[in-house]
Structure 1
Amino acid sequence: MSGTVTMSAAPLAVSLGDPAGIAPELIAEAWTRREGSNLAPFFAVGGAGLLAAAAHSRGIALPVIRIASPAEAITAFAHGLPVLGDEDASPAFGMPSREGAELALHSLTQAVRLAVSGEAGGIVTGPIAKSKLAEVGFTQPGQTEFCADACGVAHDDAVMMLAGPNLRTVPLTVHVALTQVPALLTRDLIARKTRIVAQALARDFGLSPARIAITGLNPHAGEDGRMGREEIDTIIPAIEALAAEGLAVTGPHPADALFAAHQRDAFDVALCMYHDQALIPIKTLDFDAGVNVTLGLPIVRTSPDHGTAFAIAGKGVASPGATIAALRMAGECAARRAAEGIPA
């Protein structure tokens, strides 16, 4: 699902995530693979010493180049990993701390600010430990909501898409109990988020019109009401309204069959009713190359689709695949916006 990167006008800003996790070492690894992975220039926000130590834990001799402004990253990127800012933390892989959380929050705040101002072409966010960040003033449910607030976008209009080489999925409801999902699903929710997805796939992925498959909620998509009426009362009316607007939507599809190999070529993205319905197939097919993309923002934001992985941090065994994929995808989206004259 990736194409050739055209360099965007501004480099990507990368936030460190929790310094005790695997993000710093994977940022370093990604820089060493920049040419073979066709990555656009990027710079890390803070953590110069931490990144060097993380690289050393993987046996990488990482040249770190301190920069005074994002613009300097374009030239510096060929010679070393550009790092903006003097903020740092002591290496303590696998042991999250307040010091590390303060660096993570600073890095995230500055990276988002630079993307909003247009000094960065987009942001790639490293995984965080939300409980630790909460101790130092982080009040949002997650980084998606943090980015939405910085952009002046309502949380409900910042849509999470999981994307890999084989599949794209969007969960319409995310971090809520399964028992709450039926009440949260409304015609308006389905229609509003489907429109956001269609617009974003056209703008950032060149898919116009995007072919959108919408799943059912119940087994066998309700089987004509015998296994639940959500499809009849809510999902089908929403699909019909969207189709009347000219969107290329189909469904409701039984989720147990939609993701089979012979079905996946028929759609560009699957809109799923709840968290696991969307994340199980993407993590099964593309675990080491999955990217979390936030749709509906005026900035480009991606993140590797994995957590902090404290248990393996600093051991040199974490796969860089998802970090590289997140950087590549952010670069492609930023380049497409730059080519279309869309402000960063």
Structure 2
Amino acid sequence: MTQSAPLAITMGDASGIGPEIVAKTLAKAGEGTVVFGSYVVLENIVHRLGLELTVRRIAGPEEARSEPRSIEVVEATQIIAPPPLGSVSAISGQASFDAIVAAVAAAKAGKVSGIVTAPINKEAMASAGIRYPGHTEILADYGGAKRVAMMLANDDIRTVLVTIHTSLRKAIDQADFDAQMSAIRLANEGGKALGIAAPRIAVAGLNPHAGEGGLFGDEEIQIIRPAIEAARAEGIDASGPWPGDTVYMQARKGRFDVVVAQYHDQGLIPVKYLGLEKGVNITLGLPFVRTSPDHGTAFDIAGRGIAHTGSLETALAYARRLVATQIKTKEGVV
């Protein structure tokens, strides 16, 4: 069995760098992909940047020819003229949302093998009346997933978040036993999906020094350690809770395969510090593969032709790797 359905790439916010990095990435390696978004926006950015690419409008992924140096666009939204670059736009917010929803529908129908999403802007979506805090929540809702988790990965470390887009105050309340178990299980599944037979999962503590035996908080004793023990009883190689300020150094040295972080910044700062150009976001728990670059819309440089494509290229490579692993698993190869 080979990958027959193409990968979907969503255009991202049309006022940001999404269309630019999509076009430049597909100029290098666009075979086996279709873009969900706006033909008008993609055609405009290709012309603006002087790229030697053909932009072709198609009705659906099944019409994709996968020809070199071409972008095949499934018209997922209605844009008459390209919106202004470099600023928040309700038109761009709506268009980015429309592209995600259309790509998810195609993935659920088996018309695409996975989804790679270009950056969106939460303020732009809010200005269009769309009340989602980010990609992950949209994908979970429209994808029909009961529980999802973000895995951020680069060449050195991988991390899965217990809580995602919420205030730190709320994150502490949400990091309960069930959330711990879900994150540890998804971290284990994510590691296996990346080809690690028995992932070593390190669970970070919530408090400084992982609570220092209860001196700085008892969440580690009351919640996190029992979840680790329960996960180990299920056969998962989980350990901890480890101090959040040193666990990533240990993972980078090869001691752990995946670190479970308790809240957004605890997990994302180490990954992003090592370089946005190689960071990738993988959504675990969905019924289809989804990856994205680990950066935002960069309004300040939109349309100038200087946006780096490294993170999107890495996200595309990860998506292809995950799809290939799924195919091999179905065939009984792994």
TM exceeding 0.5: yes
Opposite residue 51 of structure 2, the aligned amino acid is: I
**Counterpart position of 2:281:** 292
Pick from 71, 82, 86: which aligns with 1:81? 71
Per mean C-alpha deviation after superposition, the further-off stretch among 321-330 and 223-232 is 223-232
CA distance in 2, matches of 1:118, 1:241: 35
Q: Is residue 280 from structure 1 mapped to residue 269 from structure 2 by the alignment?
A: yes
Q: 2:53 aligns with which of 62, 80, 85?
A: 62
Once structures 1 and 2 are overlaid, which stretch shifts more, 329-338 or 280-289?
329-338
1:123 aligns with 2:115: yes
- Please state if 1:194 is matched with 2:184: yes
Q: 1:314 aligns with which of 287, 303, 308?
A: 303
Q: Secondary structure at the match of 2:108?
A: helix
- Report the Cα distance in structure 1 between the residues aligned to 2:254 and 2:157, rounded to whole angstroms: 9
Alignment of 1:70-219 (within 5 A): 70-73=61-64, 75-85=65-75, 87-88=78-79, 89-154=81-146, 157-202=147-192, 204-219=193-208
Q: Is the Cα contact below 8 Å between 2:157 and 2:258 reproduced in 1?
A: yes
Alpha-carbon distance in structure 1 between the residues aligned to 2:269 and 2:223 = 24
What is the correspondence of 1:231-250 to structure 2 with a 5 Å cutoff? 231-250=220-239
Distance 1:171 1:198 in 2: 13
Find the residue that maps to 2:196 and give its secondary structure.
coil
Does 1:17 find its partner at 2:12?
yes
CA contact (8 A) 2:151 2:161 kept: yes
Structure 2 CA distance for aligned equivalents of residues 64 and 263 of structure 1: 41
Residue identity matched to 1:62 = L
Structure-2 change in CA distance of 1:127 and 1:293 (3 Å): same
Residue in 2 aligned with 1:3?
none
Q: CA deviation at 1:79?
A: 4.1
Aligned partners of 1:40 and 1:331 also within 8 Å? no
Q: 1:104 to 1:265 in 2, by over 3 A?
A: same
Does the Cα contact within 8 Å between 2:14 and 2:92 map onto a contact in 1?
yes
The structural deviation recorded for 1:335 is 2.1
How many pairs align? 329
**TM-score with structure 2 setting the length:** 0.91
| Counterparts of 2:131 and 2:169, CA distance in 1 | 25
Report the CA distance between 1:68 and its aligned residue.
3.2
| Structure 2 residue identity aligned to 1:185 | A
- How far apart in 2 are the matches of 1:98 and 1:235? 41
Q: Structure with the greater relative contact order (CA < 8 A, sep ≥ 6): 1 or 2? A: 1
Output one character per residue of 1:50-69: Cα deviation in whole Å (capped at 9) or x when no partner.
Answer: 22322344442322133333
Secondary structure of the equivalent of 2:22?
Answer: helix
Letter of the structure 1 residue corresponding to residue 57 of structure 2: R
Q: Secondary structure at the match of 1:341?
A: helix
Unaligned stretches of 5+ residues in structure 2: none
Q: 1:49 to 1:208 in 2, by over 3 A?
A: same
Give the TM-score, by structure 1 length: 0.88
> Does the aligned pair in 1 maintain the 2:153–2:281 contact within 8 Å?
yes
CA deviation digits over 1:162-205, x for unaligned, max 9? Answer: 11121111121222222333332222221122112212332x31
Q: 1:142 to 1:58 in 2, by over 3 A?
A: same
In 2, are the aligned partners of 1:221 and 1:253 still within 8 Å (CA)? yes
Is 2:5–2:112's contact at 8 Å kept on the other side of the alignment?
yes
User: Any unmatched runs of 5+ in structure 1?
Assistant: 1-5
Q: Deviations over 1:291-330 (max 9, x none)?
A: 1111001011111111111111011221111111111111
Pairwise CA RMSD of aligned residues? 2.2
Q: CA deviation at 1:261?
A: 6.5
Give the equivalent residue in structure 1 for 2:42.
51
Between 254-263 and 280-289, report the one with greater CA deviation. 254-263
Decide whether the 8 Å contact of 1:239 with 1:250 is kept in 2.
yes
Which of 22, 29, 36 matches 2:24?
A: 29
Q: Helix, strand or coil for the counterpart of 1:212?
A: strand
CA distance in 2, matches of 1:197, 1:330: 17
Aligned equivalents of 2:175, 2:188: Cα separation in 1: 19
**Aligned partner of 1:214: which letter?**
V
Corresponding residue for residue 315 of structure 2 = 326
In structure 2, give the amino acid aligned to 1:313. Answer: A
How far did 1:137 drift? 4.5
Percent identical: 40
Give 1:265 deviation, angstroms: 0.8
Against the structure 1 CA distance between its residues 219 and 92, is the aligned structure 2 distance closer, same or farther, given a 3 Å change threshold? same
Out of 134-143 and 15-24, give the one that drifted further: 134-143
